[in-house]
Structure 1
Amino acid sequence: MAMTKRNGKNDTIILNTIEELVPQDHDVRMLDNCIDWSFIYPLVENLYSDVGRPSIDPVVLFKMIFINIIFGLGSMRKTCKEIQVNLAYRWFLGISMDEKVPNYSTWSQNYIRRYSNSEVFEKIFDQILKQAISYGFVDMETVYGDSTHQKANANKNKYTDEEVEIMKKIYENDLLDEINRDREEHGKKPIKKNEKEELNFDEETGKLKRDIQTKHIKISKTDSESGCFHKGEKEKCFAYSHQTFCDRNGFVLASVCVAGNVHDSVSFFSAYKVLNDKYMDQIKNVCLDAGYITPAICKTVLENGQKMYAPYKRPMTKKGYYKKYEYVYDEGYDCYLCPNNKVLSYSTTNKLGYKEYKSNPKDCENCPLRGRCTSSKNFQKVVTRHVWEEYREEVMDEIRHTPEWKEIYPRRKESIERVFADCKEHHTLRYTRLRGLQKNQHQSLMIFACYNLKRMSRWRWKSISKTAQNLIKSTILNYFKKKEKRYLFISTTLSTI
């Protein structure tokens, strides 16, 4: 076979339409087929004026964001360049080959002037999820929750060390009421609601001033709303954290963005409230990892009529010492028994919600097991028990040993962990170019909306393909059945002649 060699550029005029040039199995066709994009118009209608020059179609603007995230392009400037030369993207946006692509700054200006303070991103996320539910792709009986960090657009070496007030947790008032009830039952004085504030005498003013508990944290000079994230072997950096819930099929149900220095067990409550406000009646089980095993979270989930599935959590005890479960709690006498069968009696309930049980120093001084029990100088062992400990025990000692746990918990790595892995690898969740908590909350909602849309479009495309295949098979079978009946009729007729 002779070698072919092209001479220069090919300037042939293309007479085909974009519809003919875009492959039938391209991702944009799947995306366009699974949802009616006109749902965006009523969501943004109140953000536009009735007078003035015509604006760029808002559906085109939001579709540009979907192209940016779904195909992992990153920046809007690069997205606009890709749309200019990619016929599939033009077909998806409804832009002809001779029409000008919107400038990359158009989206940023529309966000600043219209969308930044609106709820349009959350509504788009909800609408896509609602469409997936209507197709029957979402199963909310069991939800899986976890948090992942996203590296902020901030230099980790540029920060200031500042003293900030310790914020109250969402459940602190309920916890204080429970603490005071327990203290009153034991004849103790209740703790005042301003217990965290200490009154000190100010010599300059001659008045009492309130000292609020504070802590020192690192504040980024580049993005002050991000938080210093440091966990295990991961790189220490400024980041945002996304507390997220999904169903067993991997469809994201809710997500809340917080600073990277907020612990998962704290950010859980805001995301869990968003989830329950929408789908509480449909959720029966909540599956979480070991970082969420706190009395407050266990109490919140169980009191909502849902079961909490969590893994075994290793006791945080020094090596060589007795574990806490080796001290037996007697609920009737409200005391603990140590491995040497000595009683640890109730002492007090502290302001953190822990009941303190202390041993008799005389029993511990000459105890042969003291070396594995306590190293205190006053020869006294202290065991603490949270006022909501029974909820944690129900999760760890009862639910964890059920057959349902063996079926539900192993699916966690196939659901929520896979969501994070796919979004980081393919949908720009690993690193953010935006600064500020609100912008990153909007971006994370769009990332998870795109993830849901991509998943839904492929499942929808497969179901349509299977339906078409089954229709062809049934048509062929019916044809041969009719042919067989005709053959039998002719053969029986000939045999009677």
Structure 2
Amino acid sequence: MQGKKTYQEKLFHTFQLSNRVPETNFYRRLKEVLHLDFLYKETASYYGNSGQKSIDPVVFFKICLVGYLENIISDRKLIEHASMRLDILYFLGYDIDEELPWHSTIIRTRQLFPEEVFERVFTYVFEMCVKQGMVKGSTQVIDSAPVKANASMDSLELKVPEQDLMSHLADIRHISNRDKDIYRKAKENKAGKEQQQITASAEELKEIKSRNKNWSKNQNQRPGAGNKGSRYTSNKTHYSPTDPDARISVKLGKARKLNYHSQLSVDTSHPVITDITAYHADGKDNQHLSDIVDRLSQRLWRSGFQLENVLADTGYSSGENYAYLESKGVDSYIPPHGTYKGGPAGFNYMKEHDHYICPNGSVVPFKKVFNDYRNQTKKKEYRI
């Protein structure tokens, strides 16, 4: 006989989450091993002694962890998602009839705690992985990824030089038709005075002038030239008033966006993240390597490991980085840039005297070290 299910909501329920979440469920198993009670002492100084009670700091960090594991970056969607998952409710310590914290509370709490508290939680989880034998420590892989900032390209403001703004516009700015439109102003300008002023050199501004001129000439008639983010912008002439630490960056085949630059280190034994930090998105990978290795080697040393090998792609290649890793006794597996040829054709480099011998047999001596502003790297000049 055919069955037909009729739903009628009950007025009273006898229900236990612990009976509904299987023993093999990931979040149930995680709840049994992840004990963050130390956070009560770590965060006590950031709360007053009176007023309404805040969100439990342990619950806050567990919600952040769920967002990472479920790949949800919106706090509003994260709370909606968690409220419909019995295993996540059990992991957070909430019953089915309890309201989860508002998404705005998650935002405010994230701004309340300094970086040191998040670093403490990261280190605690890392040490758990070490105790389980999941970290070898000797070989680390480093790579980067852009992280989208919570700010719009339409809210960008022009940086103001020390001289009059109008004379600045007349001197260096050849704007496209898209830039002549009225900008969407930010409600609050959070940028400091230094971030609102131009710090670029005359050479850099001259290069930007040429790029803006070509952009206004060649780009305005292209399909999509009027779309958001299509105008030419530069970190040297623009800043975000809503998120001053965000920087304009572009990835091949994608539009310019306000991003941060995430640098990630992973142990090769198991895919355990051993270090992660956000940098300004206008920096190059090779500018951050020494800072990453310093911080990474200290963390590994505290856990009884010694960093021996570093693996990274060509973006981390530079003479300074090779010399730095060599001085630390760390073997680097970082390929040089594809354009590197070891010197001009027909010129022989004499390492002991740091000079070249030209095809005519003359010595081409070393002159100076200079900063190449185009890619923010140091270069050596040999000239005769």
Q: Normalising by the residue count of structure 1, what TM-score does the alignment of the two structures yield?
A: 0.55
Aligned pair 1:142/2:139, yes or no?
A: yes
| Partner residue, 2:2 | 3
The aligned counterpart of 1:238 is: 258
User: Aligned partners of 1:8, 1:94: CA distance in 2, in Å?
Assistant: 28
Q: Which residue of 1 aligns with 2:362?
A: 343
Structure 1 runs of 4+ off > 6 angstroms?
none
Q: Which runs of 5+ in 1 are unaligned?
A: 166-210, 360-497
RMSD: 3.1
| Residue in structure 2 matched with residue 428 of structure 1 by the alignment | none
| Alpha-carbon distance change, 305 to 20 in structure 1, aligned in 2, over 3 angstroms | same
Kindly state the Cα deviation for residue 118 of structure 1 after the two structures are TM-superposed. 5.6
Does the 8 A contact of 2:239 with 2:247 survive in 1? Answer: yes
Residue type matched to 1:67 in 2?
V
Q: Deviations over 1:278-315 (max 9, x none)?
A: 22561011112112111111111111111111125322
Tell me the residue number matched to 1:200. none
Question: Is 1:155 the equivalent of 2:152?
Answer: yes
**C-alpha deviation, 1:106, in angstroms:** 2.8
Q: Is the CA contact (8 Å cut-off) linking 1:154 and 1:220 kept in structure 2?
A: yes
CA–CA separation in structure 2 for the residues paired with 1:241 and 1:212: 21
SS at match of 1:81: helix
Whether contact under 8 Å (1:290, 1:312) holds in the other structure is yes
Query: Which of 256, 267, 273 matches 1:252?
Result: 273
> Which structure's residues are more often helix, by fraction?
1
Letter in 2 for 1:328: N
Query: 1:331-354: per-residue Cα shift (whole Å, max 9, x none)?
Result: 35554234x453342162244465
Question: Which residue of the other structure, out of 311, 321, 344, is the alignment partner of 1:297?
Answer: 321
Kindly tell me the number of residue pairs found equivalent between the two proteins: 306
Q: Distance in 1 between matches of 2:365 and 2:131?
A: 55
Query: What pairs with 1:267-306 in structure 2 (closer than 5 Å)?
Result: 267-280=288-301, 282-306=306-330
8 Å CA contact retained: 1:28, 1:89: yes
| Deviations 1:417-436, CA, capped at 9 Å, x for gaps | xxxxxxxxxxxxxxxxxxxx
CA change 1:14–1:31 in 2 (3 A) is: same
Checking the alignment, whether the CA contact within 8 Å between 2:317 and 2:334 is kept in structure 1 is yes
Aligned to 1:66: 65
Distance in 2 separating the partners of 1:347 and 1:331 = 11
CA 250–14 in structure 1, closer or farther in 2 if over 3 Å, else same: same
Report if aligned partners of 1:160, 1:220 keep a CA contact under 8 Å in 2.
yes
- 1:82: Cα distance to partner? 3.4
Counterpart residue number, 1:223: 243
Structure 1 residue 129 displacement after superposition = 0.5
Larger Rg: 1
Q: Percent identity?
A: 23
| Secondary structure of 1:19's aligned partner | helix
Alignment match, 1:123: 120
Gaps of 5+ in 2: 163-198, 205-235, 372-377
| Greater mean alpha carbon deviation, residues 32-41 or residues 289-298 | 32-41
Quick one: structure 1 residues 332 and 54, their matched pair in 2 at CA, closer, same or farther if it must change by over 3 Å?
A: closer
Query: 2:19 corresponds to which residue?
Result: 20
Distance 1:355 1:153, change over 3 A: closer
Q: Is the 8 A contact 2:317 2:336 kept in 1?
A: no
Report the residue type matching 2:240 in the other structure. Answer: S
Can you list the C-alpha shifts for 1:214-259, whole angstroms capped at 9, x where unaligned?
Answer: 6434323443321110243333222110122221122112222122
Distance (whole Å) between structure 2 residues aligned to residue 275 and residue 28 of structure 1? 29
Given that 2:261 and 2:278 are in contact with CA atoms closer than 8 Å, whether structure 1 keeps it comes out as yes
Note the alpha carbon deviations across 1:383-437, whole angstroms, 9 max, x for none. xxxxxxxxxxxxxxxxxxxxxxxxxxxxxxxxxxxxxxxxxxxxxxxxxxxxxxx
State the shift of 1:33 in Å. Answer: 2.8
Structure 1 segment 31-430 matched on structure 2, within 5 A: 31-49=30-48, 54-112=53-111, 114-115=112-113, 117=114, 119-162=116-159, 213=201, 215=204, 216-248=236-268, 249-280=270-301, 282-315=306-339, 324=344, 326-332=346-352, 334-338=354-358, 340=359, 342-346=361-365, 348-352=367-371, 354-358=379-383
2:279 is paired with a residue whose SS is strand
Give the structure 1 partner of residue 212 of structure 2. Answer: none
State the distance in 1 between where 2:347 and 2:38 align: 60
Q: Secondary structure at the match of 1:121?
A: helix
Q: 1:54 to 1:312 in 2, by over 3 A?
A: closer
Contact 2:152 2:258 in 1 (8 A): yes
Distance 1:333 1:69 in 2: 53
Instruction: State the Cα distance separating 1:24 from its structure 2 match.
Output: 2.2
